[in-house]
Amino acid sequence: MNSGHILSAFDTDLERIQSHMLRMGGLVETALHDAMTALEKGDLELAAKVRSEDQAIDDLEEEIRQEVERVIALRSPTAGDLRTVLSVLTMASTLERCGDYARNMAKRTFVLEEFRYSSTLNGTLRRMSRVVETMLTDALDAYVDRDMAKAEDVIERDFEADQIYNSLFRELLTHMMEDPRTIAPAMHLHFIAKNIERVGDHATNLAEQAIYLVTGSFPSDDRPKQDVTTVNLTELRDG
What domains are defined for the chain?
3-238 (1.20.58.220)
User: How far apart (Å, rounded) are the C-alpha atoms in residues 98 and 32?
Assistant: 8
DSSP string across 109-131: HHHHHHHT---TTHHHHHHHHHH
- In this prediction, residue 215 has a pLDDT band, given cuts at 50, 70 and 90, of confident
- In this prediction, residue 228 has a pLDDT band, given cuts at 50, 70 and 90, of low
Q: Is the pLDDT of residue 236 over 50?
A: no
Which H or E run includes 141?
helix 122-145
Q: Is the pLDDT of residue 221 over 70?
A: no
Q: Is the pLDDT of residue 235 over 90?
A: no
Separation in Å, CA 189 to CA 9, 85, 115, 195, 239:
49, 38, 12, 10, 20
For the segment 57-65, the average pLDDT, to the nearest whole number, is 97
Separation in Å, CA 86 to CA 89, 213, 221:
5, 10, 20
